[in-house]
Every structure is written in structure tokens, then in C-alpha cells.
Amino acid sequence: MEYNEKNITNSSKTMKKLVQEWINEEIAKNNTIKEIISSTKYFEWLKEFTKDKDYFGDDDWQYSPEELSDTDRKNVENLRFLYEGIDKYAIENHIYPTKFGYGYFYGIRLDESAFEIGIMIGQGASCFCKKVQVDDESRFINFNDIINNKKNEQVDFINTKLNEIRDMILSTYNIGVPIEAINGTLKDTIGEINKLEDEKIKVLQK
């Protein structure tokens, strides 16, 4: 196929259109996330929607959307945006999700109501919501903290320590320690920490 000036112009227009569509989708997604985590409205919907169910996934009604009202269907589809909003807040505050077989989840609560909001990764990715009891407040993010973008009290301390670790690694490298040796030591240390964490989990499960 010969590429003349017309073909190049058409290709450029198509690329610009695709880029603009992607930008528009990202803007719409971010606006939806902001709306969901800016008030208790979505959380209140979750409480109402789960009165007769303890668990649901955002793909449960994929082949039978008519079983849901328009509002419920839209909110079920928006579950992934709730997860993304929680995830963004959590990352900024050094709060990390609980890992299980094929995914991750965060515990969120508001007053006496609590849920595990997570994502399962397989051939694709699907989000889920599980209604749970507030047995230990420390494992839940208060949804009001997300709404108010409240900074975790430990953030500044953690960032300071991480900067110290970074500076120490750079200093060690700059005095001639091979990067391979530094990398190996870091991997070994993280491996030891992971073993300790696994042992803690086994003790808690007993």
C-alpha cells in the first residue's frame, strides 16, 4: 500500500480522534470517581442494595441487566470506580489492600456498616462487594476519611523513613557497592519480611 499525503493525513486524524476519545473517557471516569467518593450517597446505596444480599459482583447481571432498575444497574457498574477511588486514597496514605487468591480488597466502613470492596483478576478483572461486620476497626478505612481526604497520621513518618532508605541506598551505590549486591540484599531482606508476615497470618488464622 502506497502512503501518500492523503493517507498520512487520514491516519493522523484517526489517531487524534482515538486520543481525544481516550481523554474524554478518562475525564468522565475521574469525574465519576470524584462524585462517588465526595459524599456518602454511594455508600448509602450499598447499604440499601445489600439488605437482601451479602455479596455481589459488578458482572453478576451482565446477561440479565433487565433484573435491575436503571439506578441499581448504573451503581453496580460504578463499583469499579469506587474501588479505584479507595485505591487512590489508600496509596497516597500508605494503606495497602488485603491480598487473597486472585485479587485484593479494602475494608471500608461508615458508622456500623462495613464492606470489603475488592477486585478479582483472571481472564479479565471484576470488582466485588462483600458485606461484613466491623470486628476490628483497624482493618477498615473510615469512608468519611476518604470523603474528607484525611491524611493518615503515619504518612509523614513513613515518607521520612522511605527517603532515608533511598538516600542510604544511593550512598551505598555511590561508594562503589555493586548494584547487583544491593539488589540481592534488598530481595533477601524483603523475603525475610514476607516470611514473618506469613507466620503472623498463620497465627491469626488459628
Predicted local confidence at residue 157, as pLDDT: 93
Say yes or no to pLDDT of 7 above 70: no
CA distance 27 to 23: 6
Distances (CA, A) of 4 to 1, 12, 17, 145: 9, 12, 20, 57
Percent of the chain exceeding pLDDT 70 equals 92
Q: 163: how many CB neighbours lie within 10 A of its CB?
A: 10
Contact by Cβ (8 Å): 109, 134: yes
Percent of the chain exceeding pLDDT 90 equals 69
H or E element that contains 99: strand 98-100
pLDDT digits (tens, 9 = 90+) for 169-198: 999 999 999 999 999 999 999 999 988 877
Q: Which residue type sits at 59? A: D
Residue appearing with cell numbers 433484573: 67
Predicted local confidence at residue 97, as pLDDT: 94
Q: Average pLDDT of 5-21?
A: 74
Helix segments in 37-78, DSSP class H: 41-49, 70-77
**Average pLDDT of the residues of the chain:** 90
pLDDT digits (tens, 9 = 90+) for 86-113: 999 999 999 999 988 889 999 999 989 9
Say yes or no to pLDDT of 23 above 90: no
- Helix, strand, or coil (residue 93): coil
Say yes or no to pLDDT of 134 above 70: yes
- CA end-to-end span of the chain: 68
Say yes or no to pLDDT of 203 above 80: no
Say yes or no to pLDDT of 3 above 60: no
Q: Average pLDDT of 11-19?
A: 79
Say yes or no to pLDDT of 79 above 90: yes
Predicted local confidence at residue 1, as pLDDT: 46
